A and B are shown apart, each in its own frame.
Chain A
Amino acid sequence: CTKEFKELNTNKDGAKFTTPETLLGPAVHDVLKRNLNRCLRLTHELMQVHVTLSDGDEIHRYVIRPQESDYMWNNWYLQLTNIKDIYKGGDAINSKAFMGISLILDAWVSSLITDVYGDVPYFDANKGRDYVLQPRFDKQKDIYQDLFKKLEDANELFKTANAADVEAKMDPIFAGDIAKWRKFGNSLYLRLLLRVSGTGELGAAAKILDIVETRKSNYPIFVSNNDSAILRFQTTAPYLSEFAEYRSIDFQVNNSLSEFFINNLNDWGDPRRDKWASKKENAFIGIPSGYPVGQVPAPQSQYMAALMNEPLLGNIINYPELQFILAECAVKGYISGDAKTYYEAGVTAALSMWGFAVPTGYLTDTSAQWYENDNANQKLHQIMLQKYYTLFFTDFQSWIEYRRTGFPVLPKGFGLQNDGVMPTRLKYPVNVQRVNQQNYLAAVASMGGDDLKTKVWWNK
């Protein structure tokens, strides 16, 4: 009766085994699309890039309902399964390149998860296949320590990796250039080190110095825009932007750019606004964020429709951001380099990344000008303001950086909720509270709460 059942119950459309390169493109693309989805919904609302034109959406008022938490948690962890599987596959076929790639992407996605939620499952995570169905939550500090180890390992692996392992067409970010992967890993390393450096723990500042100066030949980092880790979206499938199939109503019609976002660009005469913002009656005009219920402003400048297919929105971490990271490190004395040089290199690269030369006077006659006499805080504000624009449509980075530094200083609308406090994290998803309850409760106790004002470790 059962002779052919084993054969019959074998999936005809899938495969029992695969090799690591097949997982790479779909996984990275998925993460980037999800990031963009929530960047539009959450990051850009919170960070006053745009403001919704509806009273129904209250993110700009710092109202983030519990159900907002599920989307990223779910999708990040799902893709981590694929990303970690690339390591296993790389190990199996003895490809150090894929093992390194996996570690870097793992560090990137894992850092996003912990930066957004705080203490999260990490060492037990993605082990469902081994029947670890209720993963323990780990302390953010322990997670970061391990992320640094992964990036350290990745750097080592790439030293001896076989450049031919990665086929160009299977790698949507660097087209198989593993030297760039290595720079990506180390640049990401710097982002994460700087993020935790304020805690004074894990030797972050010392490590930054080690990478940037002491042993810099051992840690290649981005040296130009060309090195940036960007999955440049295409206009043909599969590597379409998240927004490629949006209705314009979902992308640009139901919201309008904020005063804060537009006014700085106007101050600087920043040419990027031509690619980012539409004109209203021949001018770039923003609207206030955090407006009270019932006072929805009339729309002014809005996103340009072309952004829906913009290749640069596939940004993971770019060269200008690295320059601003280095500028901050210099200001803080972690490294010996010149902050102004880094800052100006950052601005120049940020503009040229979008295809613009720095307009005459941009760095000398506008508020974008670097004042050596400013105090460290003022300098940091200057850096962070420019960095904010470089992080345009980059997952949750501008919000995470705001939480870390308090910059750029954002105006506060009268309609703000949450006691006017920028949310410091997202709550744990409701589903997690139910299906992983004990570990959830332990994590809440350990972290000191589960609300929008609970601070994560590096933010304390």
Chain B
Amino acid sequence: ASTFAQVSLTKNNAKLETVLAELEKQTGYNFIYNSSMIAKVKNVSLSVKNVTLSEALNKALENQPLDFKLNGNTVVILERSENQKQLRIMGTVVDKDNLAIPNVSVTLKGTKVIELTNSDGKFAINVPNSNAILVFNFLGFEPVEIKVGSQTNLKVVLKENISALNEVVVTALGIKREEKSLGYAVTQVKGEELTDALSNNWTDALTGKVAGLNMIKSGGGPAGSNKIILRGESSLSGDNSALIVVDGVVVSSKISEANGSYLGSENPVDHGNGISDLNPEDIESVSVLKGPGAAALYGSRGANGAIVITTKSGKENQKGLGITFNSNAVFGTINRWPDFQYEYGQGAIGSDQYYSWGATEDGPNTKNTGAAWGPKFDGQEYYQWDPNLLTRGTERTPWVPYKNNRKDFFEVSQTYTNSLSVSGGNAKTTARLSFTNLNNKWIIPNTGYDRNTIALNVSQKVNDKLSIATKLSYNNKYSDNLPSTGYNNQTVMYNIIALTPSADINWYKQYWVPGSEGLSQIRPFANGLDNIYLSVYEMLNKSNRNQLIGTISANYEFTKNLNLMIRSSIDWAAEARSQQKPKDAARFPEGMFRTQDIDQKETNTDFLLNYKHKITRDIEASYSIGGSAMINKYKMVSLSADRLRYPGIYTFANVQDRVESNSRTTEYAVNSLYGMAQFSYKNYLFLDLTGRNDWASVLASEFSNDNVSFFYPSVNLSGLVSEMFELPKAISFFKIRASWSQVGGGGVTPYLTGYNYVSRALYSSGMANPTFIANEDLKNELSTTLEFGTDLRMFKGRLGIDATYYRSNIKNQILNVPLDRATGYNYSVMNSGLVQNKGVELALNGVPLKSSKGLNWDVSVTFAANRNKIISLADSVDNYVMQTGPRGSMEARVGGRMGDLYGLGYSRSPDGQIIYNSQGYPVITEEAFYLGRATPDFNWGITNSFRYRQWRLKVLVDGQYGAVAYSHTHVAASVAGKLTNSLPGRYTGIIGKGVQRNPDGTFRPNDVVAEQVGTYYNEHFKGDNVEANTFSTDFIKLRELRLDYTLPAKLMKKIRFQKAVIGVYGRDLFVWSDWPAYDPEFGTLGNSDIQRGFEVAQFPSTRNFGVNLSFTF
């Protein structure tokens, strides 16, 4: 008999003693043990055949408090002591090039025991016996399982997951797919990339990281709504933003600020929306499904692509408590200013000889202007405002500029985010609970908000077949004051532009006339302007929003191949908003109080039945059938009292007139059935077929349901060329993909199919005809997209290229076709219009430097270009006004692109020179002409990451090229002489560069001195001259910079932390651009949208610095 003796044995629930006796018999070894010790232990079941004695003994003693020792021919069975129980296994983890890999997780299979390799790739772990299996996991490598056996010093070689062959991405309906099998482009962004350089709206972090993703940012205050556009706009009248889905719940991205941004009766306030309020700390990953092919299964709303968000959950068999604490502080200061001039003071055009606050011995009053055409600051003295007397000073005081009057108004913005999460799990249950608090004070005094989020994810395997999961997230966002945006009396930026160089901001700090508090404000200068501090401390926009996003799902596995998922989800938000204005405000001089209560809810119930099977040895197939029922409801009740009785009391009890109330309700539903089939051949050729039928309530009319149903299919093909053929060694992975897909949709606007009188609630029983002609025969829109792409990885994954070309057509658009108003209506709802988008997207990944101990350098580059073309509009229309700015318009003209801007401009001579009139002022055209477009030709982003041992440095630079926009900030500041562009020619007059028209129709160089320099600049830069106020919005931004340090594993162990990271970061640190206002990257909030093209008194953009601490224990 020898150690290698083979034994065979089958026992069921036998006494250990019996088993040992049997082994003794088979091997002839001497077994020594204490009978009373043996008697205590559990009965044994085992079945082994031709195994060594050791193996048999291991099996027999598995999960028993006993161990054995082989000593010659003697087997000693003894009680396992704490130390004896464990084998100490050491080892090193390296890659193919024999370079050590740090931070590899080493798990004892079937337990929660986890160790990490140190910076030399070494690890040590205790295992119960030599049968233990160790699992090695590291991102970017294929996992390896190793049975310990007799070795105590392992050398583990991890194979790089070069091809990302098994990389799993989340696709439509939350279905996890291997990326290699997809026929369309998907970009996955990891949660930590979102929190690396946190801003108030987490979607900011997608900028520059996803090719083809365009962000239109309202910049409208702390809540800062963004609109995400994938692959360019295509819908002429609809919302072009991507669908946002969180754990299967479609989250509202509705922008409900209906007011216009330019001199309306009220201005829009950016309250944020469902997306901006998501908590980035809870996000595990974001899948960006760019084309409709990817999103086909989301139905019509997926036609603009989809952002699919998966939130974090607890991990199975997680080690430790799983407590993570994140603390983040960000501070923002203004990163860019217009070129304000501080050489000449307050004064209307021509009032540059003296200054006088009110009529004095120096001359008539010159203080009633917001312009700065006044006298030069030359050491002289004038009668000016006296902040102590609150009127004109009794003495002349020095005429000096207050160069920081604008800068001093703004504060450093501060945002503190603290989040705590607990997660854990065993084999059956996983759970994660998190709480996050965000506190923000914004750059404008007395603005900011608080947000608290609680999220709970639980999943439970009820038995082998049934599992249930619940994900709930509740958040409350509260603000005492959010700033009004745009250009209007009560907005801060209106007042900032109106501030003259000779006014001290401190003069405004006291804003009530003593003795008339609440009744009359102090206006040191022009009477039309409101005191800027009154506007921030008394004109308040409050908001309190509660949002619940929840989903409950059950998954039942009938067999290994057949499973059914049923899910129900809800996105429910209730929001209370109010606006108040004090008495003596320029608008609403009697004060004002308004409230809006918004209740919006979308519920969705869906199921998905999956079946997979192997057709032949090489062909695998899976089929799914699903269906969903969605219903969306929105209700807003608004009350307003535009004249109050007593000052300072903002309730509806305190009104002069009656309270006006309005209510708006919209409801719509979409029911769907869909199916898909996936085939894979030899795991290198993949074919997906999908089909979906929708029934959309918005297409139902009073008389018929004929048009509500529509079907659309998609085909996606993916082939791994590198697996099919032998390719040069340099190519490690080569995939080509193609996709053709259609998406139909009825839009999200109900009630377009029936003629409805609208309520004029202000009037007793008041009604009016609608201003549009309904369309009983409204049909669905249809977009068709063709997409080709490739994913090529070379040099062992050191270089990766992902390229996509796409072409999409959207036709039969549901369009509000403008009519001659002589028809009695503004527009008619029709199916018409064909818009095409073509474009390319490129993503490059490179690893220039790589080593285990030294420096690692990763580069990733994104680039996207989109070309849009209006192929046709409605029959009667060759032009469709998409939006109008303060002046000028954005129009879709047949043959043109969406985003083309038109407006008046300079009258020019045949050789393109500006024509000046006989007084030397420029001449403006009568007709509007094309001035450029608001959508960029291309966007790009470059991320460089450096890793050196525990240090990591990440730099993201991005930019856009080829777009223009109109700047109202430039208009308003230029015509008032506030910018340095108005300095040349003061006191002397100026000859404009251009030509004079001779009486015979020829031209000569301009030789006429424009005497009145203020008028000269007014004629150049007045709003009507859209051309002169339209500027390139090209920019390059140093978008993100982050340096962090991960505490070494050794230290972690001592302080019982699993991970600790300390990081500092900056966002939007530098901006290179010719844009004359603050930020070339802007959107203008208003008219229920965020629009580009026309900047209307934008807020400053900020340079943000943050500190971030993250601990896991």
Contacts and interface: CB of A to CB of B under 8 A. Distances in A.
Interface of A: 1-2, 4-6, 8-18, 21-23, 25-27, 29, 55-56, 65-66, 73-75, 77-78, 80-82, 84-85, 120-121, 124-129, 131-135, 169-170, 236-238, 245, 247-249, 253, 292-296, 298, 429, 431-432, 434-436
Given A125-B823, A293-B921, A22 B668 contact: no
Contact of B758 (A14, A78, A294, A432): A14
B669 interface: yes
Contact of A126 (B489, B528, B767, B824): B824
Contact of B755 (A129, A170, A298): A129
B695 A120 contact: no
B713 interface: no
A102 B787 CA distance: 59
A55 B695 contact: no
Interface stretch (B10-18, B296-304, B1012-1020): B1012-1020
A59 B1095 CA distance: 27
- Nearest 10 A/B pairs, CB to CB: A128-B823, A249-B528, A126-B824, A81-B824, A5-B700, A14-B756, A121-B822, A294-B1015, A294-B1012, A436-B820
Interface centre among A14, A127, A435 (most CB of B within 10 A): A435
A279 to B, nearest CB: 15
Nearest to A433: B820
B658 A236 contact: yes
Contacts of A131: 773
Contact of B702 (A10, A18, A120): A10
B724 to A, nearest CB: 43
Given A2-B708, A5-B695, A9-B750, A78 B826 contact: yes
A22 B767 contact: yes
B491 to A, nearest CB: 13
A294 B1011 contact: yes
Given A2-B697, A435-B818, 18 more contacts: A2-B671, A8-B700, A10-B751, A14-B756, A14-B758, A16-B754, A18-B757, A22-B767, A25-B764, A26-B767, A29-B763, A78-B824, A126-B822, A129-B825, A134-B823, A238-B766, A245-B265, A247-B489
A75 B768 CA distance: 13
A128 B767 contact: no
B822 A5 contact: no
Interface residues on B, range: 35 or more
B642 A245 contact: yes
A15 B265 contact: no
B828 interface: yes
5 contacts: A1-B671, A5-B697, A81-B825, A247-B489, A294-B1012
A83 to B, nearest CB: 10
A80 B821 CA distance: 10
A25 B823 contact: no
Given A9-B750, A127-B823, A293-B921, A253 B759 contact: no
B879 A434 contact: yes
B757 A15 contact: yes
A247 B700 CA distance: 45
B823 A132 contact: yes
Nearest to A23: B767
Interface string B804-839: 000000000000001111111110100000000000
A447 to B, nearest CB: 15
A98 B112 CA distance: 84
B380 to A, nearest CB: 23
B98 interface: no
Given A292-B919, A434-B879, A128 B825 contact: yes
B792 interface: no
B927 interface: yes
A125 B824 contact: yes
B1024 interface: yes
Contacts of B751: 9-11, 14
A125 B824 CA distance: 7
Interface centre among B819, B828, B917 (most CB of A within 10 A): B819
B667 interface: yes
Contact of A6 (B364, B705, B766, B927): B705
B586 interface: yes
B675 to A, nearest CB: 15
B759 A134 contact: no
Given A13-B758, A65-B926, A434-B878, A55 B823 contact: no
Contact of B770 (A14, A56, A134): A14
DSSP majority for the B interface?
loop
A21 B766 CA distance: 8
Contacts of A9: 668, 697-701, 750-751, 753-754
B981 interface: no
A2 B672 CA distance: 11
A237 B975 CA distance: 37
Contacts of A11: 750-751, 754, 756
Interface centre among B762, B767, B879, B1012 (most CB of A within 10 A): B767
B656 interface: yes
A82 B756 CA distance: 13
Contacts of A15: 756-757, 759, 767
A175 to B, nearest CB: 13
A298 B770 CA distance: 46
Contacts of A4: 669, 697
A362 B770 CA distance: 51
A120 B823 CA distance: 11
B34 interface: no
A13 B666 CA distance: 9
Given A1-B695, A9-B697, A432-B822, A16 B828 contact: no
A76 to B, nearest CB: 8
Interface centre among A253, A294, A429, A434 (most CB of B within 10 A): A294
A293 to B, nearest CB: 6
B1022 A128 contact: no
A198 to B, nearest CB: 27
B765 interface: yes
Interface string B955-994: 0000000000000000000010000000000000000000
B657 A236 contact: yes
A135 B823 contact: yes
A432 to B, nearest CB: 5
Contact of A13 (B671, B759, B904, B927): B759
B878 A133 contact: no
A9 B527 CA distance: 50
A436 B754 contact: no
Contact of A431 (B265, B349, B818, B975): B818
B1088 interface: no
Interface string B732-760: 00000000000000000011011111111
A10 B1091 CA distance: 30
B828 A56 contact: no
Contacts of A29: 763
Contacts of A23: 767-769
A26 B1015 contact: no
Interface string B551-574: 000000000000000000000000
Contact of B824 (A18, A56, A128): A128
B769 A85 contact: yes
Contacts of A73: 821-822
Interface centre among B671, B697, B769, B828 (most CB of A within 10 A): B769
Nearest to B592: A245
B81 interface: no
Contacts of B727: none
A109 to B, nearest CB: 12
B1023 A56 contact: yes
A248 B665 CA distance: 36
A238 B765 CA distance: 12
B919 A78 contact: no
Given A129-B773, A133-B819, A248 B586 contact: yes
Given A9-B751, A9-B753, A25-B763, A237 B658 contact: yes
A253 B904 CA distance: 27
A245 B766 contact: no
